[in-house]
Amino acid sequence: MELYNGPLDTKEIFGRWLDEQAASNYGAYIPFVGTIRAEEGIEALSFDIYEPVLQAWFDAWQEKAKALGAVVKMAHAKGDVPVHTSSYVSAVFSPKRRVALELIDEFVEDFKANAPIWKYDVKNGERMYAADRSTAMDGAGLLA
Amino acid sequence: MIKVEFLGPIAKAAVEMEATTLADVSAKLKEDSTLTEWLDKCAVALNDTMVNDLSTVLKDGDRVSILPPVCGG
């Protein structure tokens, strides 16, 4: 898992991951790129991350992938990420395509639901929590 | 004494309190009106492990984290 301040250098990351696994005999490599869209007049999105829980979440996913003979990778941005740049990339390597196609779907969806990352719209230099696009994590409401 | 910290967009400084279970933490946090809009949407971690049981026993020095709705990517 890799965390960066500001936008991701997607080509460097994907190229490096590909090089790292060049001799691993994986038949499939499926990358996913999340790009900040220009909408609602935003200049950027901004992110807070709680790293200890994110690392635990990612470690559990690595174990799950390993049991299927696959590898999951991810990188995410912290702080401000301007429109038309990338805040999130992930990828799955697996011996055959079917496992990778299914895992990238599950991995990205679970990431959206349970990775401890908070998103803010940046407009006129101000940061506003994206409450309407956020999802309560599994187990939410325990203390209510 | 345990510590409760509020993550992400919850604009609130960490607090310390006496509590023997998460149920005690719940009771104390419900007294704070600034948290009313948050508690039913927030998940909870104890020493950076997600927890789901109000009867979870706490010990001196434990750290409880309150995690509001997320949106990575």
**Complex confidence, ipTM:** 0.95
Rounded to the nearest 5°, which phi and psi values hold at B60? -55, 130
Contact B43, B67 (CB under 8 A): yes
Label the pairing between strands B43-46 and B49-51: antiparallel
How far is the C-alpha of A101 from the C-alpha of A106, rounded, in Å? 9
Nearest CA distance, A25 vs chain B (angstrom): 29
Cβ contact A52–B48 (<8 Å): yes
Pick from A34, A88, A136: CB nearest B69: A136
The number of C-alpha atoms within 13 Å of A86 and in the hemisphere containing its C-beta is 19
Give me the architecture of the A2-128 domain, per CATH: Alpha-Beta Complex (3.90)
Domain B2-67: CATH architecture, name and number where available = Roll (3.10)
Task: Tell me which chain A residues have a C-beta less than 8 angstroms from the C-beta of B53.
Answer: 142
What digits encode the pLDDT tens for the residues A34-46?
999 999 999 999 9
Going from N- to C-terminal start, the domains of chain A cover: 2-128
Distance CA B42, CA A144 (A): 9
pTM: 0.94
With a cut of 50, which residues of chain A have pLDDT below it?
A: none
**Closest Cα of chain A to B40: distance in Å?**
4
Cβ atoms of A85 and A36 closer than 8 Å: yes
Question: What pLDDT is stored for residue B4 in this prediction?
Answer: 98
H or E, element range at A49: strand A44-49
**Local confidence band at B11 (pLDDT 50, 70, 90 cut-offs):** confident
B27 shares contact with chain A (CB less than 8 Å):
no
Contact A118 B52 (CB under 8 A): no
What phi and psi, each to the nearest 5 degrees, are found at residue A54?
Answer: -65, -40
